[in-house]
Amino acid sequence: MKHLLLLAITFLASYNTFAQINMQDSTMQVIGYWDKNESQTYIITSEKYKVNGTDTTEREFVTYEVDVTVKDSTAKSYIIDWVYRGIETNTGNEFTKSLAKISENLKVTIKTDEMGTFKEVVNWKQIQDEMRKGLTHLRKEFKHIPNINGITDQVEKTFTSKEAIASAAIKDIQQFYTYHGANYTLGQELTGKLEVPNLYGSKPFVSDVSIVLDELNEEDNNAIIRMWQTIDSEQLTAATKTYLKEMAAASGNKGLNLDEVPALQNETRTASRIHGSGWIIYSVETKEVWADDVLAVEERIIELK
């Protein structure tokens, strides 16, 4: 992503177009060496659950496949299609199932620079229209659910603009291109502060970020890169309270005591095995949000089929 390239810019080595892994100086430059019409299929699994004390509750799974195809390649950029299909959930909640299914056969067209660094969502207006139509249908189908409009409105917020879609609606795509565009040295930790999207809608959060090239495999032409990202607790807690206040007002709940909301912590860990061609082989991202003895976990796995 662009901000990771900025983070690593002081560590960039000379760009070598013939090899990404250099065992002589133990470095890897993550670049997309992709041809027009080249395609890979990935299986993506997303799991969410909560841990309250020693009890694990509210476990949900979503699995789907995505066909990633290079539609165009120039000296300065790539145009890439992500097409979603085979969406399955483990929930018995019919609304949740229907909400997941509105992304069936959805195509997201993105643009990267020549190194494979994510730049923008190209067809964001088309995505916005399709999701609005799907949510409008859900509002009618599930109108018997209390506060259905408030629930679907929160989903629709992630599709209100090109920027919102890029930051909140395509987390798997952002995860896929996390490390593209920069050079990494084995065992050398890159650290810094970065702004990350605030899904509650206010200004971005400030986070502390560390990145390290953990493993180089010359024989298999791949490497493992890891990242740790921690959001500022005060900002996160304040934004959460504001969000809860707005939701309470919308639902007519006047009994909410925001003083009882504990300090929140948020940490995200992302580890990816990346082939020398720039294709992801395997990537896992784990986000943990906790307060007192309550922990909410969201894990997303991207695996080459």
**Domains of the chain, start order:** 2-12+32-292+296-304 (2.30.230)
> What local confidence, expressed as pLDDT, does residue 146 receive?
86
Better-predicted residue by pLDDT, 121 or 265: 121
Backbone torsions φ then ψ of 262, nearest 5 degrees: -75, 165
The answer to whether 163 and 125 have CB atoms below 8 angstroms apart is no
Assess whether pLDDT exceeds 90 at residue 1: no
> What local confidence, expressed as pLDDT, does residue 171 receive?
93
The pLDDT tens digits for 4-25 are 433 433 333 333 333 488 888 9
CA distance readout (Å), 39 to 82, 84, 169: 10, 14, 22
Sheet holding 27-29, edge to edge: 21-22, 27-29, 183-185
Global pTM exceeds 0.95: no
User: Is 121 buried (19+), middle (13-18) or exposed (0-12) by CB count in 10 A?
Assistant: buried
Would you state the torsion angle of the CA atoms of residues 157, 163, 167, 172, taken in this order, to the nearest 10 degrees?
100
* Proportion of the chain above pLDDT 90, given as a percent: 61
Region 155-178: what's the mean pLDDT?
91
Least confident residue range of 128-142, 175-189, 269-283, 287-301: 287-301
Grade residue 262 by pLDDT with cuts at 50, 70 and 90. Answer: confident
Q: How far apart are CA 32 and CA 112, in angstroms?
A: 9
The pLDDT tens digits for 216-258 are 999 999 999 999 999 888 888 887 777 777 766 666 666 667 7
The Cβ-side half-sphere exposure at 71, using a 13 Å CA radius, reads 14
The pLDDT tens digits for 87-114 are 999 988 899 899 999 999 999 999 999 9
